[in-house]
Amino acid sequence: MRRSRFESIGLWVAVILVSAFSLFPFYWAVVSSLKDPSTMFQVDYWPSALEWSNYSSIFKEQPFGRNIWNSLVVATSTVLLCLFVGVLAAYSLARVEFRGRGLLLALILAVSMFPQVAVLSGMFELIKSMGLYNSWGGLTISYMIFTLPFTIWLLTTFMRQLPRELEQAAIVDGASSWIVLTRVFLPLMGPSLVTTGLLAFIAAWNEFLFALTFTLTAEARTVPVAIGLISGASSFESPWGRIMAASVIVTVPLVVLVLIFQKSIVSGLTAGAIKE
């Protein structure tokens, strides 16, 4: 399709505007993080000097490295637990006929609609009574409430798309459900597991309210809480430079991850949204 000059220019303007709007805050965060704390109060569009003190201070003033590790551990264990439990559930929901199957799937999905506040106090009591307060386990378990439903739903959708013939053949050969699942389906589900795992990872990494409520010490916090609570050298200071530095540190790997796995993420987000 040929397009007019006017249309081309219009297109490019739109592209530049949209890209600029999307990326500017991140650029600004980087510029701000490289400023000396005493020059924070001036607006410079381009860094005049590169000052790395903000980056070193965040690691000195709080166990930020530890916080990153915590986030990694919690997000990874969330993903592993979700995938393991979810694959099993998805198999039942996608491949086995039983009464109330549709209703069950709808109910599971409904759980992800719960506002976090609605379960906050009950969850807190639960975590405390299981002795999981201020620990990785507490966060992993509590994250199930918003990661498990969509994991199951997504995996169910993916499984439904797998060819029936393979399954039929295996069943005729007398294979049990477990064999069918592990020997026949799982090998075919690589991409969908990656997609689902990624989305669950990002959701767990991003979570704030539960991490805020269920951890106590600075050493146990995850990254979002650590950033949200960054404080200055006295109880009152607002250390914007350090907040920006922490933000940059946390954002860069995530952005890289998302860019590498763009296609997977897109297919995950849109699967099931477009009903066949």
Partner 1 sequence: MSKNVILALTLLWATAAQAQKKTLSIACGAVGIEYELCKTASAAWSKRSGVTVKLVSTPNDTNQKLALFQQLLSAQSADIDVFMVDIVWPGVLGSHFEDLGPHLPASEKSAHFDNLIINDTVAGRWVALPWYVDTGVVYYRADLLKKYGLGVPSTWQQLSEAAKKIQDGEKKSDPKFVGFVFQGKAYEGLTCNVLEWTASFGGTAFVNSSGKVVANTPQNLEALKLAATWIGTIAPKGVLNYAEEEARGVFQSGGAAFMRNWPYAYSLLTSKNSPVAGKVGVMPTPKGGDSGKHSPVLGGWHLAVSKYSKNKPEAISLIRYLASEPVQRERIKHGFFPTLKSLYADKKVLASSPLFGVLATSLSTAVARPSQSTGTQYNRVSNEIWNTTFSILSGKEKAEDGLKALDRKLVRASRGGKWN
Partner 2 sequence: MIENVALSERRRTAYLFLLPSLLLLVLVAAWPLLRTIWLAFTDASLSSESISWVGLENFKGVLTDPDWWHSVKNTLTFTFISVTLETVFGLGIALLLHREFYGRGILRAAVMVPWAIPTVVSAKMWSWMFNDNYGVINDVLQKLGIIDGPLAWMADDPTLSMAAVVVVDVWKTTPFMTLLLLAGIQSIPLQVYQSAAVDGAGGFRTFWKITLPLIKPALVVAVVFRCLDALRIFDLIFIMTNNSNDTATMSVYARNNMIAFGDLGYGSAASTLVFAFIALFTVMYVQASRLNLMGGSSEKVSL
Q: Which residues bind partner 1 (CB under 8 A)?
A: 38, 41, 61-62, 124-125, 128, 133-134, 213, 216-218, 229, 231-238
Q: Which residues contact 140 (CB under 8 A, 6 or more apart)?
A: 74, 77, 78, 81
Q: Which two tokens stand for residue 210?
A: 């539960």
Q: Work out whether 73 is an interface residue with partner 2 (CB under 8 A).
A: no
Nearer to partner 1, 6 or 41 (CB): 41
Show the site string, 196-225: x = touches partner 2 by CB under 8 A, - = not: ------x--xx-xx---x---------xxx
- Name 172's Cβ contacts closer than 8 Å, sequence gap at least 6: none
Is residue 85 packed enough to be buried (19+ CB in 10 Å), middle (13-18) or exposed (0-12)?
A: middle
Q: Residue 174 — φ and ψ, nearest 5°?
A: 90, 20
Q: CB of residue 97 vs partner 1: minimum separation in angstroms?
A: 45
Site stretch for partner 2 (CB under 8 A), options 26-34, 58-66, 158-166, 184-192 = 26-34
3-class state of residue 216 by DSSP = coil
Residue 41, phi then psi, degrees to nearest 5: -85, 15
The site partner of 62 among partner 2, partner 1, none (C-beta below 5 to 8 Å per kind) is partner 1
* In the complex, least distance from residue 228 CB atom to partner 1, rounded to whole angstroms: 9
Dihedral sign for Cα atoms in the order 91, 97, 99, 102: positive
Question: Closest approach of Cβ 240 to partner 1, in Å?
Answer: 10
Residue 47 phi/psi, 5° resolution?
A: -60, 130
| Region from 47-55, 157-165, 188-196, 263-271 binding partner 2, contact rule CB under 8 A | 263-271
**Residue 236 interacting entry, from partner 1, partner 2, none, C-beta within 5 to 8 Å by type:** partner 1
